[in-house]
Amino acid sequence: MSKDFSILIGGGAGQGSRMAARLIGEVFNFLGYKVYVFEAYGSLIRGGHNFSQIRATTKGEEARKKEIDFLLALDKRTIDLHQSELKKTGTLIFNADRIDSKKGLGIKIERIVKEAGGRPIMANTALVSSFAKILGVDWEVLKAVLKKEIRHQIDLNLKIARYAFRQCDSLIKIKRYKRKRTSLLLTGNEAVAYGMARAGLDFYVAYPMTPSTSIMNTLARREDLGVRVVQPENEISVINMALGIAFGGKRVAVGTSGGGFALMVEALSLAGQSETPILIIESQRGAPATGMPTYNSQGDLLFVLSAGHGDIPRFVIAPGDAEQSGFYAGLGLNLAWKYQTPVILLLDKDISENTFTLDQKVFEKIKIEKFLLWNKKGEYKRYQFAKNGISPLAFPGQKGVVVKNTSYEHDEYGITIEKAGLAKAMQEKRRRKMERMKKEVEKLPSLAVYGNKNSEIGLVSFGISKGAAVEAAESLGIKVIQPIILEPFPQKKMKEALSGVRKIFTVELNATGQLAKLLAQNGIKTAGSILKYDGRPFFAQEIIEKLTV
């Protein structure tokens, strides 16, 4: 029988609820559960209300549950906001130094920290330790997790944890399962950073913008990955600097959200005209404009598919969890250099910042793939006409070669032209590249299928919505198709995946059914769209209710 635990921990910004959730997730991961951690926080440095919801299952669901088994409250506001979500059989565990409640288990975590000589934020360590004891987790398991995750003042944190652990009684004895030794917990952004590094990323250029910022932070912190991180003054500088780096022969990626990507669009066209390889990570958030910076949306799909003036060959890839994010980040970087074209990795806030269990062996699948280099024979032509549209690359500084890169329409050497025949021939060269890209997509793992593969009802979903859609489909006995590479669209693979399906519904986090529009552009009719656009991801139950009314 599948085991399924849902734990919500909350407090004010600055109380460390997010770190506490990470520790709880690692405890469950150690015990062999698959873990998904949802993060919710406001645009505040301190105050407000932050919470994390940990889902620990033996099956591997990747969506929030409406009802929670345990509510862990660092402050009273957490109880006020989330008490209604606690099951009747659920357990409330609270900070008794700040909360006076006749219900639940009160633990004086702040007093424990003070008596141990710790800092106030270490109350989260005391709460996690108390919760572990209530679950019946062995001290050695908790100790191993704390030593792995806490980098500063570990001895003091262990002292506090030990003290709190002894203050509580075990209410249950959580079962331990045989776990994959290769399982680990990563956010989508962390997985992206590692995947790009495995594919040979040399430079990462970005200006901080939620929710993409932690990609930059991860690469800057992990000097062992060998990636140089640059933070210019704005997103316009970011992408132009990156194009210069790629022109010099180094693999480069940039990261931003919708507003920053809007500033990059002119340079995206430059990359298309100059055939410069670049990986652009666009992590969506609530929009338009500044929108809701720390909440989610899948409203940028049509924007990234059509961004830029003129006809630009591009890949658009939308992973649906951390494991996919790592793999497709590496694949995207390789594709950018293979086809000398922009590749857009379309994430969303919950993919970027939520935590997932993944198999670290996924990174072993990522290799640094070779790209077409000039053979040093004859006179170099940067934009040499080729049957497949891909011209050989050379870089400035190579002996005996002149490399031209231009925003203007050009001849094979890169010299500006306006002649009708040459202009037409160069456009057709780039289109031949696009035709080859379309064929490649049909060979790649461009989509995934879940649930009942013989069902006549199919859900089509992408990004974070995939998790809730899969859980709902498995409950109803229907099929889910997750298109991962969205441009070029994998028409043959999608046709095969939809074989036998009579009714198709899209599941997406936007107000206009953008995925449904993309399907319609490719000749696929839908029976309707299940939409949500309040900044929060789907519960599986919401999808079930929409399909069963």
CA 52-479-505 angle, 5° bins: 80
Residue 516 pLDDT class (50, 70, 90 cuts): very high
Return the H-helix or E-strand segment holding 254: strand 252-256
Bridge-based pairing state of the strands 34-40 and 355-359: antiparallel
Torsion-angle region of 32 (φ positive above 0: left; ψ -120 to 50: alpha; else: beta):
left
Take residue 451 and report the two structure tokens written for it: 């649930």
CATH 3.40.920.10 positions along the chain are: 4-167
Q: How far apart are CA 314 and CA 488, in angstroms?
A: 7
The percent of residues in the chain predicted with pLDDT above 70, rounded, is: 99
- pLDDT at res. 361: 96
Contacts of 386 (CB under 8 A, 6+ apart): 429, 432
Asked whether the beta carbons of 78 and 50 are under 8 A apart, the reply is no
Using a CB cutoff of 8 Å and minimum separation of 24, what contacts does 534-537 make?
Answer: 535/286, 535/292, 535/295, 535/296, 535/297, 536/40, 536/295, 536/296, 537/38, 537/63, 537/64, 537/296, 537/350, 537/464, 537/465, 537/468, 537/509
What secondary structure letter does DSSP report for 536? S
Helix (H), strand (E), coil (C) string for 96-116? CCCCCCCCCEEECHHHHHHHH
Choices 3.65.10.10, 3.40.50.80, 3.90.1300.10, 3.40.920.10: CATH for 4-167: 3.40.920.10
Q: Alpha-carbon torsion 297, 299, 301, 307, what sign? A: negative
C-alpha torsion angle, residues 278, 283, 288, 293 (rounded to 10) = -130
- pLDDT at res. 179: 72
- pLDDT at res. 343: 98
| Mean of pLDDT values over 117-137 | 96
DSSP secondary structure string for all residues of 457-506: EEEEE-TTHHHHHHHHHHHHT-EEEEE-EEES--HHHHHHHTTT--EEEE
| Mean of pLDDT values over 154-171 | 94
Choices 3.40.50.2020, 3.40.50.920, 1.20.1050.10, 3.10.560.10: CATH for 447-548: 3.40.50.920
Residue 331 pLDDT class (50, 70, 90 cuts): very high
pLDDT over 80 (residue 218):
yes
Closest CA to 307 of 354, 272, 334: 272
pLDDT tens per residue, range 444-488:
999 999 999 999 999 999 999 999 999 999 999 999 999 999 999
Give the residue carrying structure tokens 């202009």: 423
Q: How far apart are CA 300 and CA 285, in angstroms?
A: 9
Q: How far apart are CA 396 and CA 333, in angstroms?
A: 21
- Residue 116, Cβ neighbours under 10 Å: how many? 19
Q: How far apart are CA 164 and CA 284, in angstroms?
A: 40
| Mean of pLDDT values over 173-192 | 89
Residue 196 pLDDT class (50, 70, 90 cuts): very high
pLDDT tens per residue, range 351-367:
999 999 999 999 999 99
Choices 3.90.1260.10, 3.40.50.1780, 3.65.10.10, 3.40.50.970: CATH for 184-365: 3.40.50.970
What secondary structure letter does DSSP report for 289? T
The percent of residues in the chain predicted with pLDDT above 90, rounded, is: 94
Give the residue carrying structure tokens 């055939």: 275
Q: Alpha-carbon torsion 389, 395, 396, 397, what sign? A: negative
CATH 3.40.50.920 positions along the chain are: 447-548
CATH 3.40.50.970 positions along the chain are: 184-365
Give the residue carrying structure tokens 């590692």: 194
Residue 2 pLDDT class (50, 70, 90 cuts): low
pLDDT over 70 (residue 1):
no
More confident residue, 43 or 85: 85
Mean pLDDT of the chain: 96
- Residue 220, Cβ neighbours under 10 Å: how many? 17
DSSP secondary structure string for all residues of 143-165: HHHHHHH--SSHHHHHHHHHHHH
CA distances from 250 to 213, 243, 337, 492 (A): 22, 10, 10, 34
Task: Give the full edge-to-edge strand order of the sheet including 342-348.
Answer: 228-230, 203-206, 252-256, 278-284, 342-348, 315-317, 485-487
For residue 488, whether the previous peptide bond is cis, meaning omega lies within 30 degrees of 0, is yes
What secondary structure letter does DSSP report for 257? -
